[in-house]
Amino acid sequence: MAKLYFRYGAMNSGKSTGLLQAAYNYEERGQRVLLTKPEIDTKGADQIASRLGVTRTVDFLIAPDADARAAFHMAAGAREVACLLVDEAQFLSPAQVDDLLRVAVLDDIPVIAYGIRTDFRTEAFPGSGRLLELSHSLEELKTICRCGRKAIFNARLIDGRFVFDGDQVAIDEGPTTGVVTYESMCAACYLRESGGRLDGR
């Protein structure tokens, strides 16, 4: 039986780089992989991009209300697939994570999902929460805070200023939102910037 893997970390921990490396490793051995990500991740449209400058087009996007297993089967067609690789998995719904488990268990195809665990308010994304509940294997990908300690949180900045309230998902900038960026932080630096607030409180 194949397994569902969740590889998670704060932003800039090398998740997309790791996914693209995994795809390369499979294909170097002549095995076919499919790459996907949630449609809600509009950054890069249908691309997976690592900070190292490597990009690749996904094989299919998962729409917000789509059956992820059905979308996988449609993209796979009749050809054998050795592994399904999922980027930005935090944006999946819990039901879609259930679909990924079915791909692994019922279709016997390994699924490796990459994503961040919590949002800028330190609250779990629904997809990540379900992956933590269901995955056969969990692996934390590490990165460092500006102070040198391990980063575990993702702080949001708008026009360079930290914010701790707002919608869970904010990817694009616009005339009403300002320039949205994120910084990976350790708990101490996050609490210092937030004035001790966690979970938006």
Which residues are marked as active site?
A: 88
Cβ atoms of 42 and 171 within 8 Å: the answer is yes
Residue 168's region, left for phi above 0, alpha for psi from -120 to 50, else beta, is alpha
- Rounded to whole angstroms, the Cα distance separating 94 from 10 reads 20
- Rounded to whole angstroms, the Cα distance separating 45 from 47 reads 6
Joined tokens for residue 175: 């005339």
Q: Bridge partners of 143?
A: none
CA distances from 121 to 79, 132, 154 (A): 42, 18, 8
- Rounded to whole angstroms, the Cα distance separating 76 from 50 reads 24
Write the single-letter amino acid at 164.
Answer: F
